[in-house]
Chain A
Amino acid sequence: MSAHGSILYLDSVSVSFDGFKALNNLSLILQPGEMRAIIGPNGAGKTTMMDVITGKTRPDTGDVIFDSNHDLIQMDEAAIAELGIGRKFQKPTVFEHHTVEDNLYLSLKGGRGVFFALLADKTKEISERIESLFETIRLGSLRHELAGNLSHGQKQWLEIGMLLAQDPKLLLVDEPVAGMTDAETVETANLLREINKTHSVVVVEHDMTFVRDLDVKVTVLHEGSVLADGPLDKVSADERVIEVYLGR
């Protein structure tokens, strides 16, 4: 395996917290334009993997390479975000005291410096960008509502909108359909497939129906390393996967 030509490359990554191995020799490679679903039981290391990629946690060993040549281990969260990796959290985290529109405004790609922000103007171009985002996430009618007043599902969508606003090369999406109704889940799968046309995506999810809807390659994590990967039908027939999920 080599990092060349990949959008994301993890090689032998290990992280331990007080002796507990959250990630154990994890290797994973994602091609540009690919969408990958990551599944696994609780404690399999899914969220820790996200933390390592986005700079929140430093791995003990291993390499994390983005877009063939950026070593992410040396960078902090802000630098990695600027490089083009966006993250949606498991628990929807929007800015509750800002309006829906301002949530998107703050997320839009562009200068992040203090003095830039002090003098920044909401130009016509920015308003147009926000409009096109509203078309995608369909929250236009709630633009002046405080984000804190949105329903759970709406917050998930807003957060996906915030991700898109950053226009990242790679989106990391942690449990996007947790707490959503069935109809919203189907909509979200459609939305992610739409996004995948122009972005590489990693989705962590428990919901098997949703993963089936996505119809992409699946990687199963267990105890911090890859247990199996391939199409969903193949991995769900795998003896070891059944054992991990159902127990002996």
Chain B
Amino acid sequence: MISKFILRGLDGRLTAFLIAALAYVVLIAIGNLFIPEGSFLHVPTYAVSLMGKYLCYALLALSVDLVWGFAGVLSLGHGAFFALGGYAMGMYLMRQIGTRGVYADPTLPDFMVFLNYKELPWFWYGFDMFWFAAIMVVLAPATLAFVFGWLAFRSRVTGVYLSIITQAMTFALLLAFFRNDMGFGGNNGLTDFKDILGFDIQSDGTRMGLFAASALALCLGLIICKAVVASKLGKVLVAVRDAESRTRFLGYRVEHYKLFVWTLSAALAGIAGALYVPQVGIINPGEFAPANSIEMVIWVAVGGRGTLYGPILGAILVNGAKTYFTGAIPEIWLFALGALFVGVTLFLPKGVLGLYGMLRQRFEKTRAPRETKRTADPVSQPSEAE
């Protein structure tokens, strides 16, 4: 049953993507681990981690697209789910430090010793075990999303009001995590990680492993999203996006459908956060900042909403540009980002992927002008941003 469900989404395009992703990871691995430094083809470790970070963002963008592109739920608070997943991983990494910390306390992380904690807070129990942390990476954001979504969707909060309360949610968490007595390291967050699953977190091999894990997570996330979107449930979601009350009059419980996809999306965002933290080496409340969540929406819009592949492309393009601009000409980055969003909204309503589709259609039209019969676009795209 599960394999049939997965196979439904596995079309030619997805297979090509998966093969390309595998080739990419293998090439990077060879370039990083086997080609000696100094060679033209050598891929430095910092670049591997940078790309790993982009892949985490891509998974995050994918999760935003699942709810925004297909169910019409514009989340301006997905950063909260990302950060919660990141904190769960960060807590595990903190517990791994043990006596190697500045204060050399075997159980308490440094910041707790510094803040005069006498014992470990209850919610830190279990995070010394990887399997427990891994479960919490999914469970913490999913639970928050489930409770939040259950209340919001049942009350039929939609459109801009829903977007605003998602923004409020992440802002509230930002303020909460800034507080020292929350027990999550206050504004410094969690950092100074030493190792993960016994491997030195700074070593080339571990970095490569984390990069490969991010690529794997992205591929699995894409397979799941494709399968969901290709199922009847996916069709119902698009129906909800385009005509919510009509769907209700057909007998579908719209709130249940939204809740399912919202919770799934939050879990994916949490996994992205968990892979992100060991690669950047820190998690702090800044990840909850509303501006971050808005940026994610821009990635999706730039790549092409409602296409699944577009947001992956968008996340990598925008973050690549960000890395370049903030290094080369830092003062213009925010202007460039703003201009990008305005430009995409005005000229590329379907994003970069939509542009590709448009060009292809035009090309086919000029090549076969007599062939007027149009077939439905296999990837149904939303007409406008909501």
Q: Which residues of A contact B (CB under 8 A)?
A: 54, 56, 76-78, 81-82, 86-87, 89, 93-99, 102, 105-107, 112-114, 117-120, 122, 144-146, 162, 166
Q: Is the Cβ of A118 less than 8 Å from the Cβ of B376?
A: no
A86 to B383, CA, bound (A): 28
In the bound complex, residues from chain A placing their C-beta under 8 Å from that of B153 are none
B232 touches A117 (CB 8 A): yes
B238 within 8 A of A: yes
Asked if B239 and A114 sit within 8 Å, CB to CB, the answer is: no
- For the complex, give the distance between the alpha carbons of A49 and B236 in Å: 27
Q: Would A97 and B380 count as touching, CB distance under 8 A?
A: yes
Q: How far is the CA of A209 from the CA of B241 in the complex (A)?
A: 37
- Interface residue from B228, B235, B250, B260 paired with A166 (Cβ < 8 Å): B250
B243 touches A114 (CB 8 A): no
Q: In the docked arrangement, what's the CA distance between A93 and B239, Å? A: 11
Judge whether B99 is part of the interface by a CB distance below 8 angstroms: no
Closest to A148 in B: B383
Given contacts A78-B252, A114-B257, A146-B376, contact A96 B242 (CB under 8 A): yes
Residue from the list A77, A99, A113 in contact with B249, Cβ < 8 A? A77
A78 touches B235 (CB 8 A): no
Inter-chain CA distance A105–B247, complex, in Å, is 12
Q: Are B376 and A144 in contact (CB under 8 A)?
A: yes
Bound together, the chains give a CA A230 to CA B257 distance in angstroms of: 44
Q: Scan B213-255; emit 1 where CB is below 8 A from any A CB, else 0.
A: 0000000000000001001110110110111011111111110
In-complex Cβ contact of B251 among A96, A112, A120, A146 (8 A): A112
B5 touches A119 (CB 8 A): yes
Query: Which of A78, A113, A145 is B248 in contact with, Cβ under 8 Å?
Result: A78
> Is B86 in the interface zone, CB < 8 Å from A?
no
How far is B279's CA from A158's CA once the two chains are assembled, in angstroms? Answer: 53
Indicate which residue in A76, A114, A119, A162 contacts B260 across the interface (CB closer than 8 Å): A114
Instruction: Please report the C-alpha to C-alpha distance between residue A147 and residue B233 in the assembled complex, in whole angstroms.
Output: 19
CB of A98 within 8 A of CB of B250, answer: no
Interface size on B, residues (CB 8 A): 34
| Residue numbers in A under 8 Å from B377 (CB-CB) | 146
| Chain B interface mostly | helix
With a cutoff of 8 Å between Cβ atoms, the chain B residues found around residue A97 in the complex are 238, 241-242, 380-383
Cβ of A159 to closest chain B Cβ, rounded Å: 9
Closest Cβ neighbor of B261 among chain A residues:
A114
A120 touches B231 (CB 8 A): yes
CB-defined A-B contacts under 8 Å, sample of 24: A56-B245, A77-B248, A77-B249, A78-B254, A81-B248, A95-B239, A96-B383, A98-B238, A105-B232, A106-B235, A106-B236, A106-B250, A107-B250, A112-B252, A113-B256, A114-B257, A117-B257, A118-B233, A119-B1, A119-B5, A144-B376, A145-B376, A146-B377, A162-B250
Q: Are B250 and A99 in contact (CB under 8 A)?
A: no
A86 to B246 alpha-carbon distance, docked (Å): 11
**Across the interface, which residues of A come within 8 angstroms of B232, CB to CB?**
105-106, 117-118, 120, 122
Specify which chain A residues have a CB less than 8 angstroms from the CB of B5 in the assembled complex. 118-119
Within the complex, the shortest CB–CB distance from A65 to chain B, in Å, comes to 20
Residues of chain B contacted by A120 (CB below 8 angstroms): 231-233
Interchain CA distance A101-B1 in the complex, whole Å: 25
Cross-chain contact B251 with A117 (CB below 8 angstroms): no
Q: Min CB distance, A134 to chain B, in Å?
A: 16
B380 proximity list for chain A (CB < 8 A):
97-98, 146
Q: How far is the CA of A119 from the CA of B7 in the complex (A)?
A: 12
Q: Report B361 CB to chain A, min CB distance, Å.
A: 14
B375 within 8 A of A: yes
Most B-side CB within 10 Å, residue of A102, A114, A145: A114
Q: Give every chain B residue within 8 A of A98 (Cβ-Cβ).
A: 235, 238-239, 380
B6 smallest CB distance to A (angstroms): 11
Most chain-A CB neighbours within 10 Å: which of B251, B252, B381? B251
Tell me, in angstroms, the Cα distance from A95 to B1 when the chains sit together.
29
Those 4 A-B pairs whose CB atoms lie nearest each other, nearest first = A81-B251, A117-B233, A97-B380, A120-B232
A56: B residues at CB distance < 8 A: 245
B256-276 with Cβ < 8 A to chain A: 256-257, 260
A54 touches B256 (CB 8 A): no
Contact between B251 and A119 (Cβ–Cβ < 8 Å)?
no
Contact A93 B257 (CB under 8 A): no
Q: Which residue of A54, A78, A95, A144 contacts B375 across the interface (Cβ within 8 Å)?
A: A144
Bound-complex Cα distance A36 to B70 (A): 39
Verify A93–B375 contact, CB threshold 8 A.
no
Closest residue of A by beta carbon distance from B1: A119
Q: What residue in chain B is nearest A122 (Cβ atoms)?
A: B232
Residue pair B243, A93 in contact (C-beta under 8 Å): yes
CA distance A93 to B252 in the complex (A): 16
* C-alpha spacing A162/B247, complex, angstroms: 11
CA distance A105 to B231 in the complex (A): 12
In the complex, what's the smallest C-beta–C-beta distance from B126 to chain A, in angstroms?
A: 30
Give the shortest distance, in Å, between B1 (CB) and chain A (any CB). Answer: 6
Q: Which residues on the A side are within 8 Å of B260 (C-beta)? A: 114, 118
Contact B251 A166 (CB under 8 A): yes
Smallest Cβ-Cβ distance to B377: which chain A residue: A146
- A106 near B245: Cβ-Cβ < 8 Å: no
Query: For residues 37 through 73 of chain B, which have their beta carbon under 8 Å from a beta carbon of chain A?
Result: none
Q: Closest CB of chain A to B353's CB: distance in Å? A: 16
Closest chain-B Cβ to A130's Cβ sits at a distance in Å of 13
B248 contact set on A, CB distance < 8 A = 76-78, 81
Instruction: Tell me the complex Cα distance, A81–B245, Å.
Output: 12
B382 to chain A: which residues have CB within 8 Å? Answer: 97
Q: Which residues of B contact A102 (CB under 8 A)?
A: 235
